[in-house]
Structure 1
Amino acid sequence: MEGDEVFDVSEALASLPSPKWPSPQKDLFIGELERLLPLMDELKEQATPISIKDVKLDAPVANPSKLINAPINYRAHIEETAADEQIAYGRDMTKSIWHWGLFLKANSALSGVGIPIRLRYPGRRTDHEIELAVIIGTECKGVTREDALNYVAGYTIGLDITIRGPELQSFRKSADGFAVLGPWMVTADEIEDPGNLDLELSINGQLRQKANTRDLVYDVPRLIEYAASMYTLYPGDVIFTGTPEGVGPIEPGDHIEAWISQIGTLNAIVNKEILPLPRHDPVLDEIEAQEA
């Protein structure tokens, strides 16, 4: 990307190693990114620029081994969650990430901004959550906070779409298309300090969320250290760093605009149709009983 133009450097992918069974638990492109960058620069000089309006933006990382999420990682979000029963659903939400740990979203939830978000569970509240997303570039485990940023390939904007309800987070947040990344990845060398980035999210032009990553309870290096103490992190793995206050519902047809300084703007559309699901749902039954 350069301004509003895209340069096709796909020929660089021809130099990737051919995987054999068992396939490696990593994104091959992200794993080879440092080696490929000079080649991509050469190819860019020969490429014909294409307007960004004429391309479909997929997720900037295609094959992460896992999507790692940090819950309750902004202090003001802890307060709003504890005060809103529709978010908390009876849980004690006065605690923070050091009590909750991390959780995983299904890889099949991964999506780019070119595919509309399809809501599930008619009658349930589904919320937007803007997050700084960190893409791991080098395999690591047991890393220290001081060395953590050396293992980052880049950063992007993440939308952690969330159905509210009593189920575990990994279920309610893992529907297809509920982990939106984009609009592109900014390589780590372009962002000196991921701990001082402004975030904003608007729905249909109305500002909902506004914060700065300096308000994170666990900052980016500490999150990497925390995750790597439990999991081996592979190239392409994505860490969603948590969402600030201001989360709220999205509806069919909504336009989501998410912006993070030094990265850009992610524009996403909510599909106008809600995917129907089996009706055995105690939450829906309770809602209908109250309405009756």
Structure 2
Amino acid sequence: MRLCVYRDGGTRLGVVDGGDVVDVTDLAPAFGVPGPLHAVLEHGIDLARLRPDGRPRRPLADVELLAPLPRPGKIVAAPVNYRDHQAEMDAPLTVAELGVFLKAPSSVIGPGGTVTLPYTDLRTDQEAELAAVIGRTARDVPEAEALSYVAGYTCLLDITVRSTEDRSTRKSFDTFTPIGPWLTTPDEVGDPGGLDLRCWVGGTPRQSATTADLIFGVARLIAYASSVMTLWPGDVIATGTPAGVGPIHDGDRIVMEIERVGRLEVGVSGAGARPYATRPGARAVVAS
């Protein structure tokens, strides 16, 4: 099952069925800003109950898809979780030594959105990732049981400024976490450790890998993260990016695709970008 959130006279919850979206909003609990899918997960509703039989449907191309989880409780991300990316970045440590970090929920945008570049003179990169969405509360979960806590999978772009700040700062600018286009349930995805992942920027291939090359696979990552913090329904686990990250520029289109999960596309804008030295908190230059 593929579950989407879309706009059609209001925010709606839909099941993607072929080329159509079927409205199942009436099966969701009352919801606010976090959205109907988040409400379904928080209330522990079995996703299999959101059946599209006999319900209103529209062509998928006629609706505006939104982020399936526009305000997750937290985004837990894995740094340096592919060996080829470790080599590319000349990073001495991996997720095994670095642990996980958090991204701001306010950085989320949906499919068709626009990544806004903050600086004119610093490199900003795309990082395409498989994301797992937590379906029930998880704390100290054994690795062997971890996948049973996953409600589904989606595509995620971890946009990153190459600066000196901590990861949580340079990856948390508004618009820096595109998610979508929908949540695909585990029964359709199968083994999350054997999915092809690809990414293009401006039509040029950038990343091509398989999640089999993850250092911490999805289950180990959930087990590790849940040993540190309680994971709640609707939390997003970003599993890390393979080699092929590179600079993005004003006017670019970023497209990523994960086998059996989905295809996510966003734009890039440099409108409003400013020199790094003019940011709040920048050290003043003292004349000699």
TM-score range, shorter chain: 0.7 to 0.9
Quote the Cα distance in structure 1 between the aligned partners of 2:31 and 2:256. 36
Question: Is 1:66 the counterpart of 2:74 in the alignment?
Answer: yes
Secondary structure in structure 2 of the residue aligned to 1:27: helix
Secondary structure in structure 2 of the residue aligned to 1:184: strand
Question: Is 1:41 the counterpart of 2:56 in the alignment?
Answer: no
Quote the Cα distance in structure 1 between the aligned partners of 2:258 and 2:222. 20
Quote the Cα distance in structure 2 between the aligned partners of 1:262 and 1:194. 10
Alignment counterpart, residue 149 of structure 1, candidates 131, 147, 150: 147
Question: Is 1:77 the counterpart of 2:77 in the alignment?
Answer: no
> Per-residue CA shift, 1:4-30, capped at 9, x if unaligned?
2212221112xx2689xxx9xx93222
Between 143-152 and 264-273, report the one with greater CA deviation. 264-273
**1:90 matched to which residue of 2?**
none
Identity, % of aligned pairs? 41
Asked if 2 retains the 8 angstrom alpha-carbon contact of 1:129 and 1:243, the reply is yes
**2:224 matched to which residue of 1?**
226
Asked if 2 retains the 8 angstrom alpha-carbon contact of 1:27 and 1:65, the reply is no
Query: Counting helix residues as a fraction of each chain, which structure ranks higher?
Result: 1
**1:268 matched to which residue of 2?**
266
Question: Is 1:30 the counterpart of 2:45 in the alignment?
Answer: no
Question: Is 1:9 the counterpart of 2:24 in the alignment?
Answer: yes
Quote the Cα distance in structure 2 between the aligned partners of 1:166 and 1:278. 11
TM-score by length of 1: 0.85
TM-score by length of 2: 0.86
**1:86 matched to which residue of 2?**
none
**Over aligned residue pairs, what C-alpha RMSD do you find?**
2.4
Alignment counterpart, residue 241 of structure 2, candidates 222, 240, 243: 243
Secondary structure in structure 1 of the residue aligned to 2:169: helix
Quote the Cα distance in structure 1 between the aligned partners of 2:31 and 2:208. 43
> Per-residue CA shift, 1:107-139, capped at 9, x if unaligned?
101111132111111111000000000000000
How much does 1:206 deviate? Answer: 0.7
- Would the alpha carbon gap of residues 193 and 36 (structure 1) be closer, same or farther in structure 2, given more than 3 Å must change? closer
Quote the Cα distance in structure 1 between the aligned partners of 2:170 and 2:30. 36
Q: Structure 2 unaligned segments of length 5 or more: list them.
A: 1-15, 284-288
- Would the alpha carbon gap of residues 279 and 29 (structure 1) be closer, same or farther in structure 2, given more than 3 Å must change? same
Quote the Cα distance in structure 1 between the aligned partners of 2:27 and 2:196. 33
How much does 1:218 deviate? Answer: 0.4
Asked if 1 retains the 8 angstrom alpha-carbon contact of 2:71 and 2:106, the reply is no
> Per-residue CA shift, 1:39-76, capped at 9, x if unaligned?
x315x52213x222222221112332110000000001
The count of residues paired between Structure 1 and Structure 2 equals 265
**1:122 matched to which residue of 2?**
120
Alignment counterpart, residue 56 of structure 1, candidates 59, 64, 78: 64
Secondary structure in structure 2 of the residue aligned to 1:270: strand
> Per-residue CA shift, 1:212-256, capped at 9, x if unaligned?
000000000000000000010000000000000000011011011
**2:212 matched to which residue of 1?**
214
**1:182 matched to which residue of 2?**
180
Quote the Cα distance in structure 1 between the aligned partners of 2:125 and 2:271. 16
